[in-house]
Amino acid sequence: MNTATITNPIMWADVPDADVIRVGPIFYMVSTSMHSMPGCPIMKSVNLMDWEIVNYVYDTFEDNDAHQLLDGHGIYGSGSWAASLRYKDGVFYVCFSSNDMDRFYIYRTGDIEHGIWERSVIPGLHHDPSLLLDDDSRNYVIYGNGDICIKELTEDLTAVKLGGTDQLLLDGDRKDMVLRIEGCHAYKLNGYYYLFFIEWPRTGNMRRRQICYRSRELLGTYERKIILDHDLGYHNNGVAQGGIVDTPDHDWYAVLFQDHDAVGRIPCVLPVSWENDWPIIGMNGSVPQVVETKLPVAEPKPLVISDEFDYETNRVALNWQWNHNPDHRLWSVTERPGHLRLRTGQLSDSILLARNTLTQRTEGPACSAETVLEVSGMMPGDRAGMVALQNGFGTVSIAAGEQGQFNVDMCINGGDGCEETVESVVFTGERVYLKIDFNFEDSLDQAQFFYSEDGTAWKPIGRMLHMKYTLDHFMGYRIGLFNYATKQSGGYADFDYFHYQRRN
């Protein structure tokens, strides 16, 4: 049987805070999705290299002004953080905290790929939580930054156990730390409780590194060990934060991530060996570029897809996510077959506050996205097009003026989310083709914008966008399609297709 070869990174795209489990021969992964909806994507794989999106934990998880971009700010950089995925007795559990809501959410389902998730909500922030489903029918959540706490949950994981309170479990190192321990992944193995964290020291290599604590007793004294401190040769950005998983052949692997600038935080898979019951990640202290496995070969599935918008029902492919909660009354892929129709609703003066921006990830080392839209349904003040989305965004779009006049505009964030028009070109056609080229090679992090009247002869517009990953969004750049009104609602734009290409 042919066996799979893992090449790091396994996905050169923003898939942060991954938590991986195995059920039988199948691996499942959940990751952070913050302000993208639906959220908490569930991916599956048979070999830890080739992943496919199969479900989301929720379509939306709150329905308030911030989540609907009605408060003037949104939930950028908040939403769902660092989800934990676990399985026990036929039930899958996902938990996460939301900074904007100051709440802890636990979801459960019996069918991780197709099922409906039921949820419980517990007050209070539980930073970077990890569920620990012990073998004595007792369940816990372990969480925190620097000061790591533990709290016991009910047997069905719907609430805090009666009398359960925050209890300090660990006090992480304080001296010379940029970031104290956080990002817990908890396991009980070989008679030990293992707690995996990251930390970021101000001394030595001065980069994020993977730490492990272990104890024979859950509430006992823990030993500490640095188990990985390596950057895969990339700008001293440590590969760290994540957990471990075993294979059917009892081999062990760690799934961690690395900050990769504008494209986001990208996952890597590393072999794990055991020495004196300590997990040792990587090979000779480093992150291997290539890992040979005993796992089966599988057909790679694309993380980002092209789309002809040819759907029988009004639901787009799982690769798409909305920026914040969508208004489902104002979009359709069935109203005009073969097209994505985006209608305008609330007025906005920026793409950052526009509802119904439909997005996918970008991928390194380079990628390109192209679309075509028809302008006949647009009203004066409408803006429709394509965005390179982060706080430092860039757009190429059609701006509808008075008396049927149109311009192709290239805009950037000129500060505080306000759009600055870099270049505007008069457009007299009925269909406009738009394109963005992304280059993430070796942190070049540049995006170029183009338009065309026929889809063949492309004209550059505006200027190069120098993309920056900023913590106010805490997300890698995404490609988005949008249509919003600045003067009056009621217009629409029809997108005929979305064509995507990743370039190595």
Q: Is residue 305 part of a domain?
A: no
Instruction: Note whether residue 283 is domain-resident.
Output: yes
Asked whether residue 339 falls in the same domain as residue 460, the answer is: yes
Same domain, 29 and 155: yes
pLDDT in tens, 295-337: 999 999 999 999 999 999 999 999 999 999 999 999 999 999 9
Any domain includes 140 = yes
135 and 68 in one domain? Answer: yes
Q: What is the tens place of the pLDDT at every residue in 418-469?
A: 789 999 999 999 999 999 999 999 889 999 999 999 999 999 999 999 999 9
Placement of tokens 């995996």 in the chain:
196
Residue 500 confidence class, pLDDT cut points 50, 70, 90: very high
Residue 68 scores a pLDDT above 90: yes
pTM for this structure? Answer: 0.97
The answer to whether residue 306 is domain-embedded is no
310 located within any domain: no
Q: Are residues 330 and 290 in the same domain?
A: no
Same structural domain, 383 and 490: yes
pLDDT at 415 over 80: no
Q: Mark whether 28 and 133 lie in a shared domain.
A: yes
The answer to whether residue 414 scores a pLDDT higher than 80 is no
- Based on the residue annotation, tell me whether 17 is a catalytic residue of this protein: yes
Mean predicted confidence (pLDDT) in 47-67: 98
Is 182 a residue of the active site?
yes
Handedness of CA 416, 417, 423, 424 (dihedral sign): negative
Catalytic residue among 14, 182, 370, 419: 182
For the segment 49-53, the average pLDDT, to the nearest whole number, is: 98
Same domain for 267 and 351?
no
Q: Are residues 94 and 30 in the same domain?
A: yes
Residue that is last in its domain, among 296, 313, 337: 296
* Measured distance CA(461)–CA(343) in Å, rounded: 26
pLDDT in tens, 113-135: 999 999 999 999 999 999 999 98
Catalytic residue among 17, 19, 363, 437: 17
Task: Please give the Cα distance from 256 to 6 (Å, whole number).
Answer: 14
- Which of 240, 262, 296 lies at the terminal end of a domain, its last residue? 296
CATH of the domain at 242: 2.115.10.20
Provide the H-helix boundaries in 55-160: none
Q: Report the percentage of the chain scoring pLDDT > 70.
A: 100
pLDDT given for residue 93 in this prediction: 98
348 with 262, same domain: the answer is no
Which pLDDT band, with edges at 50, 70 and 90, does 163 fall under? confident
- Rg (alpha carbons) of the chain, rounded to whole number: 23
pLDDT tens, position by position, 474-485:
999 999 999 999
- The tally of CA atoms less than 13 A away on the side-chain side of residue 245 is 25
Average pLDDT over residues 391-414: 95
Summarised one tens digit per residue, pLDDT across range 21-33 is 999 999 999 999 9
Identify whether 302 is part of a domain.
no
Note the pLDDT tens digit of each residue in 278-291: 999 999 999 999 99
Residues 259, 265 contacting (CB under 8 angstroms): yes
Task: Work out the mean pLDDT of the chain and round it to a whole number.
Answer: 96
Last residue of a domain, one of 242, 261, 296: 296
CATH number at residue 405: 2.60.120.200
In a domain, 239, yes or no: yes
> Residue 409 and residue 389: Cα distance in Å, rounded?
16
Write out the residue range of the structural domain in which residue 342 sits.
321-503
Interval 75-98 mean pLDDT: 97
Residue 53's closest CA among 425, 321, 272?
A: 321
Same domain, 20 and 132: yes
- b/e map of 129-152 (b: 16 or more CB within 10 Å)? bbbbbeeeeebbbbbbebbbbbbb
pLDDT at 135: 83
**Same domain as 282, residue 327:** no
Both 256 and 333 in a single domain? no
Hey, what are 214's tokens? 């272990």
Q: What is the pLDDT of residue 451?
A: 98
Task: Count structural domains, the chain.
Answer: 2
In-domain check, residue 247: yes
Which residues, 6 or more positions from 38, have their beta carbon under 8 angstroms from its beta carbon?
56, 57, 58, 59, 60, 321, 322
Q: Please, which pLDDT band fits residue 159 given cuts at 50, 70 and 90? A: very high
Q: How far is CA 111 from CA 32, 71, 87, 93, 296, in A?
A: 20, 36, 11, 11, 24
- 100 neighbors 61 (Cβ within 8 angstroms): no
